[in-house]
Structure 1
Amino acid sequence: MSIHITLKEMALPDAAYEPVTVVLDWGTTNFRAFLVKSDGSIVDEKIGDRGIQSVTKGEHARVVSEGLASWRAEYGPLDIVAAGMIGSRNGWIEMPYVPTPAAAGDLAAACRTIELAQGDRLTFLPGLTDLTAFPFPDVMRGEETQLVGFGLNRDMVIVLPGTHAKWAEIKGGRIERFRTFVTGEIYATLASHSFLSKVATAERDHATAAFAEGIALAQQECARAGGLLTRLFAVRTGWLAGTITPDEMKSRLSGLIVGWEFVEARAGGWFKEVDTIAVVGDDDLVEVYERVATAFGLELAPAPADAAIRGALEISGRRSAAAT
């Protein structure tokens, strides 16, 4: 999970609400904290580069204390909810994975709360695992807050774009199952470290014809097209043939790879044409995935940009209610 909401995107709450929670998204490379009022609106945010990979064991509490010092000085001891990789094996405390099917209450029951030296209370949220995945159980950390924040009251497939994109099925008020597609990581690796990086002259542009052509190549069903590995090389041979220009290569590559994610998802039974799905996120990848979903004949349900924050608050709120 990675939260990118800015204050400009959130309506400022009125003065009747008091700050109640800090939502902490502490990932591998970044430290992000959001001061949230009781109506769910963001009051302030802090973003830094002290990701978990740069913090040694035993130093996490100090980093939190220093990072949130100004808020503590203004509002007193803080209630903090931490989601994402901070609860991984390489983070502060390794949190368990709750198996699917899982409701918001199941996630809340697996939370863990600790008291910090300056009076702050920090609640770690668990991850989620799908034991039915082949050949090994699938896992997520952080995206489960987006699913809960979107809402578990509608039976629907939810797509969560990212470096490791997730497709999740909501059914009967629970997260029924999910699968991971390493779409963003594959694109970044090929765009920066393959034959393309030596030729391509422009970054990807998802509004271009080249991106749409990449999607169309992924959708091509004739046997001559081959699989993904063959189609990837066609980005280079198209350049050699004089059909693809260097400034189109990354856009075409992106369309092909994201389009192939949808091809695999369709083959895996995640959707069929004219189904309604939702794309949940808070950055430009939402628009990208919605564009591809439309090309595959899907209808789109609206989704809130602040789903991760809503979900973190709901899960921690259920935890607090159960404890009283």
Structure 2
Amino acid sequence: MDSRTKRRLDAEALSALAHRAVGAHVREAVELADGFANAVWRLHLDDGRQVVLKLSPPPDLDQLTYERDLLRMEAAACSHAAAAGVPVASLLKAGFDDPVLGGDYLVMAALDGTPWNQAELDAAAQAALRYELGGHLARLNTVTGQVYGYPHSGLTGATWREAYLRMTGALLDDAVRYQEIPLPRPVTELRALLASASAALEEVTTPHLVHFDVWTGNVFLDLTGTPRIQAIIDHERAFWGDPLAELITPTLFGEIDEDDPLLAGYRAVRPLELTPAAHRRLDLYRAYLYLILLVEHGPRQYPEDDYAPLRELATTWLVKVLDRLQGSP
């Protein structure tokens, strides 16, 4: 989707950046438009390699608070994921504070697979891939850290509850900054509701790595034989927190069912119990994600025709989740 945060580079600037990063010039560049924030290109280099370049927005561009230094979190998350046995695109170079362009960039090996959301698969193949995905997410969630939240943006806490309230609080502060963002309830009411419901988060006692953006567009498939997952991409929204939050984006605008193969695959690697308190935590994470989808329009300024359906879905589901949180003990 087009966004004001996506940086525009001409062919000369792209080639110069590729040479600084990996020592080769660009023969051909194709911009990949599916992402929402960072500018992304698939580059054919003059040494025969194909790579993907992700470039952060200009450092002086206003963004949401949690988005500060997102590519640094992605670089760290990719390294942790690969070490845990999760398939990811190989990270070739992470450049921070580039002296010519400013901002950060990542260069990764290009994938030759197919995004899951573009693949035509029967029900059996879909179920098998959901099971496989669950196992990969469980392996990712075995990675533990030292602090909760987003270390690269400073939104952290000594407990998960403290970090979650800092994360949601910063997002609601951003909503105030962008007054044109319509939310279904006043910001003061949202703060109070999330704070009162957050006691359930005290159950989380160890910070785990959470991708928090695993929708089918961020999963590449190898379709050369029996479909399998080639790589999980776009770790930029990752944080350290409750592994239960990993269930939110694979069930975006929906609920998690006990008969979902994703759960079976996850439980084959590590335990996961969906207690009433766990469902309350899931709703807290849904509320956070749906708020992100609404508030991020402020700095990004998506085209109205493209964004309107997403805004309607996010608002509808946010209202549903808030009503449940308010009515829960």
Taking structure 1 as the reference length, what is the TM-score of the superposition? 0.28
Structure that is richer in strand per residue: 1
Question: Rg bigger for which structure?
Answer: 1
More relative contact order in 1 or in 2 (CA 8 Å, sep 6+)? Answer: 2
